[in-house]
Copies of this chain bind each other. A is one copy, B any other.
Amino acid sequence: MIIAVLGPKGSYTEKAAIKWLAENSSEDNYSIEYCNDIQDVFSSLTSGSVDVGITPVENSIEGSVGVTLDMLLESELSIIGETVVTIEHCLLSKGKKEDIRIILSHPQGLAQCRQFLKDHFKDAELRTTGSTSHAARLATEFSEMAAIASRESAQMYDLNILIPNIQDREQNHTRFLIMTKPGDMSECKRHPCKTSIIVYLDRDRPGALYEILGEFASRNINLSRIESRPSKRALGDYVFYIDFEGHISDEIIKDAIYNIESKVGMLKVLGSYPMYGQIE
């Protein structure tokens, strides 16, 4: 099994991969492919060069990872699992705190530490990278550079932890999706499951979202998440990403989906997969 994650070594996505393998599989025979960015994880998966792709989908401070949501709409794949990783961003450098002029991280890393950066490094130049571990690797080049990345990255790239735990809220978790090429969505061996769909509502139909949610409510199906993304057709036009409890092979879920399909412009089922336990 080849698993695509954000690279290089030491990314939070790699951590998610190892965590998910430990939680879900007795698979020992795997190799990791390190990708430059989230789009490349999706490309590797759809081109067939890897078996499994893992990307972040939402963070408890900064919210949705837009590029992952967009690629879920554009790509043909199935979500087969999810996992949650505790994020503890540190400021890493080979230099000293007073030398830092340039700070590098993934855009989500920068955003999760927005207030910290404003308070302590107001004049620093901010650079974005494809992953936090890539930022750490680049920070080895000059002592005026620092990366926002994990504690493990410090060790891996021989950097000093100038300041630990720098995100704007102490609690910081990221949820990752585990994806494969589209497969048969047969019954889940592990319970409880959740199902993820994308719907595009008919925008000239007021109350359409309410009607859709009604199909879930009337069947006592719990929604765990609803998120809008631009349809990219026009401002104010959205697609909705909905996660709910239950498996696509359950009669009640099939029935809900059947009824929703008749009410929307587009419905895409992304997959049914074991739910990760609720994080407090």
Contacts and interface: CB of A to CB of B under 8 A. Distances in A.
B236 A279 contact: yes
Interface string A163-188: 00000010101110000000000000
B114 A128 contact: no
A132 to B, nearest CB: 15
Given A209-B223, A228-B226, A175 B127 contact: no
A66 B228 contact: no
A84 interface: yes
A175 B224 CA distance: 29
Interface stretch (A9-17, A57-65, A151-159): A57-65
A191 interface: no
A228 to B, nearest CB: 6
Interface string A45-59: 000000000000011
> Does more than half of chain A's interface fall in helix, strand or loop, or is it mixed?
mixed
Interface stretch (A91-99, A212-220, A250-258, A259-267): A212-220
Contact of A235 (B107, B227, B233, B279): B279
B227 A217 contact: no
A19 interface: no
8 contacts: A59-B235, A63-B229, A107-B110, A175-B235, A206-B220, A207-B216, A210-B210, A236-B279
Interface of A: 37, 39, 58-63, 66-67, 84, 107, 110-111, 114, 118, 125-129, 169, 171, 173-175, 206-207, 209-210, 213-214, 216-217, 220, 222-230, 232-238, 278-280
